[in-house]
């Protein structure tokens, strides 16, 4: 086969390329900072934190206005035309909505600016007063962005709320910020109506799609809202134009409520300056960002990653096409069979992702390849293995004849899933697995810029550079951030550790937000200003620096428990060690100060456990039954013990008893976050009886 020939000849060239680029490039260097003693690193290329990449521009409102002047006739916002909406019945009798969507319809920068000004004026005409806040509670769409920019032009602070937030959290966020105008879609309006009796401050609702939900009749008579459609607000504004009232850099642009893993959500206050600093920093890191690019917008705008990304895209003349996770590809759930998904219609060059979505892309491709079987499968696996050894170590090792050949034979089809032109993927929100990172690198032929940041640091933190092909790390400090590690003796992490400094990650710089809304106590606990005037945020994450100045996240401080006899157990560390057992699909270790040992809830992996049971000749009714059997629990415990020994865990770290669960933990069940991180508090509550039993049985 021709492919083999190439396979034998080309590696020589690769090896040469690899050598020349593997020079141990420095990306972060130590820096002298104030505040609590620690070990701090800054970006190599930027001695002082970046504040704005645009001269004379200090707010998002100015940034947008400038961009609209400069790119007046270019396309800015695109939304797909709805051709039809159908309900399909599955075999089980459940019904699914399927959409037939047409091509993108575009607003130019000039038209978008006009809409933004109209919205700003319309808001005033509706009676929205100075210093009152607006909440946007909706899926990502063009109107969201227009409303956001409209509010900025009136110096109105926007409260953002995750569309998936529960009733209590929603009520809390609207109450706490005394929101008077809520902008929402039909689905979200239904939720707002459900809690209408408890909302004292809301006076106006702006409905994005102009449609009323089925429960619209059930609003209590005591509630005196006005309801206006988005298009009517624009019309009102057009007829009653009002001058802008622009904000200052230190004015709060957004109060962002995010779902924490515990308790009620906290609102993080972000100034224009904060978001501008993060955006400016990201701009320095994505190569050649410019007017030729097209950005696929589909992640929640209530997430800082997407909000910052769209503001930056709109600042440099890029076109933003809107979509949704459920309509992204031709095979997405809500796309009518035979019609096109958002990505194949838009053909974006840039997109942002969270690891859960990239994992899904990877699994989808793997499944498809396995299902096809035969020569295609052999070819795919061979191509993948060859490319893996080529990119391993250096992204620059990835060029050459062989790549072109494999791309043509195999990966072109994979790339077509996302439109075929993606040249850069931004990933954030949670750590990306090394396996997925490699898979996307290879199949898409695109680098992934992985970031580490938090809402509290306005997504500022670290970012892996394009030419960094390593996996499992989150990169060097962003140009707007300093990253400091400080000792955490109780957890056993010290900056004096060798070979690498380890400790709690503290982020400093102009990107660090001003704190939590109406929550001074919590703000004081995790934000500190040093003697030089720099703000630092204490993340509670544990990391270590590599020799080139890149950060790796290794643990989480909150997850450390002191046992009865004084030993500290790092839950995350132990879970990471035990999850390698083939029988384990997911695991939560539980430790408490009233006992001297740990216990664990283990979600069993159905295929491996059933395989084992068949081989043992065990009879079982259903999987839940199999998981209850003593011999199964014994087998899985044995496997955990082996994994623990391999990771050299201490005896007190190994769960003394386990409960085997048959049902997987999914974001839908609320037991893991959208990024698939386990939600300890929720799991503890749901399985409190099981946990109590594990302790009492002993």
Q: How far apart are CA 279 and CA 291, in angstroms?
A: 17
Q: Which residues contact 10 (CB under 8 A, 6 or more apart)?
A: 400, 401, 402
Q: Using CB under 6 A, which of 49, 300, 317, 341 touches ligand NAG? A: 49
Q: Judged by CB under 6 A, which stretch of 69-77, 404-412, 444-452, 527-535 contacts ligand NAG?
A: 527-535
535 binds ligand NAG (CB under 6 A): yes
3-class secondary-structure state, position 630: helix
Query: Shortest approach of ligand NAG to residue 385 CB, angstroms?
Result: 7
Q: Judged by CB under 6 A, which stretch of 90-98, 337-345, 505-513, 595-603 contacts ligand NAG?
A: 505-513
Of the pair 22, 367, the CB lying nearest ligand NAG is at 22
434 binds ligand NAG (CB under 6 A): no
423 closest CA partner among 298, 278, 290: 290
Query: Shortest approach of ligand NAG to residue 135 CB, angstroms?
Result: 14
Report the site for ligand NAG in 127-156 (rule: CB under 6 A). 131, 155
Of the pair 165, 560, the CB lying nearest ligand NAG is at 165
Q: Using CB under 6 A, which of 355, 509, 515, 549 touches ligand NAG? A: 509
Report the site for ligand NAG in 339-398 (rule: CB under 6 A). 388-389, 392-393
24 binds ligand NAG (CB under 6 A): no
99 closest CA partner among 340, 294, 284: 340
- Beta strands across the sheet bearing 461-463: 95-108, 75-89, 319-322, 294-297, 350-353, 424-427, 448-453, 461-463, 476-477
Query: Shortest approach of ligand NAG to residue 193 CB, angstroms?
Result: 15
248 binds ligand NAG (CB under 6 A): yes
Query: Shortest approach of ligand NAG to residue 483 CB, angstroms?
Result: 14
Q: How far apart are CA 482 and CA 429, in angstroms?
A: 19
Of the pair 450, 632, the CB lying nearest ligand NAG is at 450
Count the residues of the shown chain that bind ligand NAG, applying the rule CB under 6 A.
22
Of the pair 247, 267, the CB lying nearest ligand NAG is at 247
Q: Using CB under 6 A, which of 17, 409, 466, 534 touches ligand NAG? A: 534
Other beta carbons within 10 Å of 604: 26
Other beta carbons within 10 Å of 275: 25
Phi, psi of 682 (to 5 degrees): -65, -45
Q: Using CB under 6 A, which of 21, 108, 111, 175 touches ligand NAG? A: 175
Phi, psi of 370 (to 5 degrees): -65, -40
219 binds ligand NAG (CB under 6 A): no
259 binds ligand NAG (CB under 6 A): no
Other beta carbons within 10 Å of 579: 15
Place of tokens 């600042």: 315
Helical ranges in 351-423 per DSSP H: 355-372, 374-391, 401-406, 412-416
Q: What's the chain's Rg over C-alpha atoms?
A: 26
521 binds ligand NAG (CB under 6 A): no
Phi, psi of 174 (to 5 degrees): -70, -40
Of the pair 435, 631, the CB lying nearest ligand NAG is at 435
Of the pair 250, 404, the CB lying nearest ligand NAG is at 250
Contact call for residues 420 and 411 (beta carbons, < 8 A): no
Report the site for ligand NAG in 182-211 (rule: CB under 6 A). 198, 200
Q: Judged by CB under 6 A, which stretch of 372-380, 444-452, 533-541, 681-689 contacts ligand NAG?
A: 533-541
171 binds ligand NAG (CB under 6 A): yes
Of the pair 254, 320, the CB lying nearest ligand NAG is at 254
Report the site for ligand NAG in 74-133 (rule: CB under 6 A). 131
Query: Shortest approach of ligand NAG to residue 512 CB, angstroms?
Result: 5
Q: How far apart are CA 319 and CA 317, in angstroms?
A: 7
510 binds ligand NAG (CB under 6 A): yes
172 binds ligand NAG (CB under 6 A): yes
Q: How far apart are CA 665 and CA 316, in angstroms?
A: 41
Query: Shortest approach of ligand NAG to residue 618 CB, angstroms?
Result: 37
- Produce one character per residue of 248-268: b if its CB has 16 or more CB atoms within 10 Å, e if not: ebebbbbbbbbbeeeeebbbb
Of the pair 255, 351, the CB lying nearest ligand NAG is at 255
Q: Judged by CB under 6 A, which stretch of 169-177, 297-305, 428-436, 567-575 contacts ligand NAG?
A: 169-177
Q: How far apart are CA 6 and CA 17, in angstroms?
A: 17
Of the pair 171, 542, the CB lying nearest ligand NAG is at 171
- Produce one character per residue of 153-170: b if its CB has 16 or more CB atoms within 10 Å, e if not: bbbbbbbbbbbebeeebb
Query: Shortest approach of ligand NAG to residue 139 CB, angstroms?
Result: 23
251 binds ligand NAG (CB under 6 A): yes
Q: How far apart are CA 205 and CA 187, in angstroms?
A: 13
Tell me how far CA of residue 225 lies from CA of 201, 221, 533, 563, in angstroms.
10, 10, 45, 53
Contact call for residues 551 and 505 (beta carbons, < 8 A): yes
Query: Shortest approach of ligand NAG to residue 248 CB, angstroms?
Result: 5
Q: How far apart are CA 147 and CA 413, in angstroms?
A: 38
Query: Shortest approach of ligand NAG to residue 225 CB, angstroms?
Result: 15
Q: Using CB under 6 A, which of 28, 78, 213, 247 touches ligand NAG? A: 247
Q: Judged by CB under 6 A, which stretch of 165-173, 228-236, 403-411, 444-452 contacts ligand NAG?
A: 165-173
Of the pair 105, 200, the CB lying nearest ligand NAG is at 200
Q: Which residues bind ligand NAG (CB under 6 A)?
A: 49, 131, 155, 168, 171-172, 175, 198, 200, 247-248, 251, 388-389, 392-393, 509-510, 512, 533-535
């Amino acid at each position: 086969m021709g492919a083999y020939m190439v396979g034998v000849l080309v590696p020589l060239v690769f090896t040469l390329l690899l050598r020349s680029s593997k020079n141990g490039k420095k990306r972060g260097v130590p820096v002298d900072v104030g505040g609590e003693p620690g070990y701090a690193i800054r970006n190599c290329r930027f001695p002082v934190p970046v504040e704005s990449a645009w001269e004379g521009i200090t707010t998002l409102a100015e940034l947008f206005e400038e961009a609209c002047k400069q790119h007046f006739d270019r396309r800015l916002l695109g939304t797909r035309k709805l051709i039809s909406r159908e309900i399909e019945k599955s075999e089980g009798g459940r019904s699914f909505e399927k959409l037939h969507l047409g091509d993108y319809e575009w607003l130019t920068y000039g038209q978008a600016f006009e809409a933004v000004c109209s919205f700003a004026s319309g808001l005033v005409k509706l009676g929205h007063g100075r210093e009152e806040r607006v909440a946007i509670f909706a899926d990502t769409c063009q109107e969201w962005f227009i409303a956001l920019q409209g509010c900025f032009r009136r110096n109105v602070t926007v409260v953002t709320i995750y569309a998936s937030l529960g009733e209590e959290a929603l009520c809390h966020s609207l109450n706490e910020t005394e929101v008077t105008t809520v902008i929402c879609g039909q689905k979200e309006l239904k939720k707002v109506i459900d809690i209408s009796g408890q909302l004292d401050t809301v006076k106006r609702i702006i409905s994005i799609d102009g449609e009323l939900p089925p429960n619209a009749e059930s609003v209590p008579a005591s509630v005196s809202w006005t309801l206006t459609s988005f298009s009517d607000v624009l019309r009102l504004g057009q007829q009653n134009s009002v001058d802008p009232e622009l904000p200052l850099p230190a004015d709060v642009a957004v109060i962002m409520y995010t779902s924490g893993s515990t308790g009620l959500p906290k609102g993080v206050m972000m100034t224009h300056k904060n978001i501008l600093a993060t955006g400016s920093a990201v701009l320095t890191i994505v190569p050649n960002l410019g007017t030729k690019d097209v950005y696929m917008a589909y992640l929640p705008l209530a997430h800082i990653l997407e909000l910052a990304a769209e503001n930056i895209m709109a600042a440099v003349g890029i076109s933003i096409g809107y979509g949704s996770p459920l309509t992204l590809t031709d095979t997405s759930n809500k796309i009518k069979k035979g019609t096109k998904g958002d990505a194949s219609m838009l053909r974006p060059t840039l997109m942002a992702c969270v690891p859960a979505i990239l994992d899904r892309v990877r699994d989808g491709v793997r499944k498809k390849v396995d299902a096809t079987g035969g020569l295609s499968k052999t070819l795919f696996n061979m191509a993948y293995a060859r490319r893996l050894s080529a990119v391993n170590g250096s992204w620059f090792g990835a060029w050459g004849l062989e790549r072109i050949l494999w791309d043509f034979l195999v990966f072109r089809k994979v790339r077509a899933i996302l439109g075929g032109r993606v040249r850069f993927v931004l990933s954030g929100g949670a750590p990306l697995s090394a396996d997925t990172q490699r898979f996307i690198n290879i199949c898409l032929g695109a680098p992934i810029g992985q970031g580490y940041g938090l809402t509290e640091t306005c997504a500022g933190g670290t970012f892996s550079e394009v030419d960094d092909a390593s996996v499992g790390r989150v990169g060097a400090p962003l140009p707007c951030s300093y990253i400091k590690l400080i000792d955490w003796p109780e957890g056993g992490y010290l900056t004096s550790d060798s070979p690498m400094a380890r400790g709690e990650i503290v982020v400093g710089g102009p990107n660090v937000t001003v704190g939590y809304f109406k929550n001074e106590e919590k703000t004081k606990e995790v934000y500190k200003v040093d003697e030089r005037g720099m703000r630092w945020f204490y993340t509670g994450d544990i990391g270590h620096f590599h020799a080139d100045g890149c950060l790796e996240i290794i643990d989480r401080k909150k997850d450390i428990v002191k046992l009865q006899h004084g030993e500290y157990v790092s839950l995350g560390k132990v879970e990471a060690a035990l999850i390698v057992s083939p029988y384990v699909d997911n695991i939560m270790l539980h430790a408490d100060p009233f006992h001297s040992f740990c216990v664990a809830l283990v979600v069993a992996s159905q295929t491996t456990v059933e395989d084992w049971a068949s081989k043992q000749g065990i009879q079982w009714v259903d999987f839940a039954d199999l998981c209850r059997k003593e011999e199964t629990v014994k087998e899985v415990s044995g496997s955990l013990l082996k994994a623990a020994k391999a990771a050299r865990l201490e005896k007190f770290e190994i769960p003394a008893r386990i409960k085997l669960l048959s049902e997987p933990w999914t974001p839908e069940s609320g037991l893991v976050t959208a990024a698939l991180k386990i939600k300890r508090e929720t799991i503890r509550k749901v399985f409190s009886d099981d946990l109590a039993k594990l302790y009492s049985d002993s």
